[in-house]
Amino acid sequence: MATEVEGHVDDNDSRRLENRLVPPIGTMFFGIERFTVADRVLMCFTTNSANNGSVNPDRFDYTLTWDVTMYKYAVNGDPTSPNFVSNNGEIYVIMVHRGAIECRDTIPGMRFRFSIGPRPVGGNSRPVIPLTQLPRTGSGTRDDKSMNYDINYSQTFDMLNNNGNSQIAFDARYFESFNRIETIQTGRVPATTVEFGIEADTAAEVTTIPPYKVHPIHGLSIFTNQQPATWPVTFNFVHDSWSPSPGGWVPPRAEALRLVALDF
């Protein structure tokens, strides 16, 4: 059954969610943080002023809410040890994205994009490598004008516990199923970032983002790093959109920097 959000029918139903990304109590070198990139920010296609709050409340096109939960793991050893790298130690960062886009009216040809990546340091060097964005483009299954998606991630992390005197094999797992009606989800990993998006389902002969709909944000991003000394790392979170008039990606409409430390 669809859910109600502020009086509008949600066009996507998260039918199943399993989150096992937090290791047992006593596991060392694990951290979690939650933050908001955008909190019901008014977006207008004719201005790039969403960040300074000058969008006319009577002329906005949609609102954006974007929340992130970040899980940080050090695997295969102690990241403070000088032997961490030689012992195949690795840092993993998993981000779970939630939130919503709420359109005010029909939006012909619009696409919404979310991009996350580390800011370069020391010239063009990027110490954190993007690995995966789920669900991937083209991974949905069709049911008439609905597309059903699964975020299905699992990985075993060898982590220290008991004050470093023993090790556990932690089976990290995240599963979420959801559907989109008359829209599709995209997900890919360009060279230095991960990206996901929402756009009209042209295969279902839909060419507009449906009006007065809440389009929930779903996604899981994974990054890795083998050099603990490079932290803290600044991540850049960017939301922008494709406008059919004049055509092309509009400059960033919401952007936030987040300094991420290994605060285990």
Residue-wise pLDDT tens digits, 1-18? 223 233 233 444 556 889
Q: How far apart are CA 246 and CA 243, in angstroms?
A: 7
Asked whether the beta carbons of 196 and 133 are under 8 A apart, the reply is yes
Query: Given pLDDT bands bounded at 50, 70 and 90, which one contains residue 54?
Result: low
Q: Which residue has the higher pLDDT, 205 or 212?
A: 205
CB count in 10 Å sphere of residue 2: 12
Percent of the chain topping pLDDT 70:
78
**Across 18-33, average pLDDT:** 96
**Across 31-60, average pLDDT:** 71
Residue with tokens 């908001």: 36
- When computed from its CA atoms, the radius of gyration of the chain, rounded to whole angstroms, is 20
Asked whether the beta carbons of 34 and 69 are under 8 A apart, the reply is yes
* Residue 237: predicted pLDDT: 96
Q: How far apart are CA 61 and CA 43, in angstroms?
A: 6
Q: What are phi and psi of 57, to 5 degrees?
A: -60, -20
* Residue 189: predicted pLDDT: 96
* Maximum average pLDDT range among 21-25, 47-51, 161-165, 248-252: 21-25
Percent of the chain topping pLDDT 90:
54
pTM: 0.87
Q: Which residue has the higher pLDDT, 145 or 205?
A: 145
Please determine, for residue 106, whether its predicted confidence score (pLDDT) is greater than 70. no
* Residue 246: predicted pLDDT: 56
* Residue 50: predicted pLDDT: 43
Please determine, for residue 232, whether its predicted confidence score (pLDDT) is greater than 80. yes
Asked whether the beta carbons of 115 and 195 are under 8 A apart, the reply is yes
Q: How far apart are CA 255 and CA 264, in angstroms?
A: 27
Asked whether the beta carbons of 18 and 174 are under 8 A apart, the reply is yes
H helix or E strand, kind and range, residue 136: none
**Across 34-53, average pLDDT:** 71
**Across 43-48, average pLDDT:** 63
Q: Average pLDDT, whole number, for the chain? A: 83
Q: How far apart are CA 143 and CA 50, in angstroms?
A: 36
Please determine, for residue 60, whether its predicted confidence score (pLDDT) is greater than 90. no
Whether cis (ω within 30° of 0) applies to the bond prior to 127 is no
Name the amino acid, one letter, at 159. M
Q: Worst-scoring range by mean pLDDT, 62-71, 130-139, 204-213?
A: 204-213
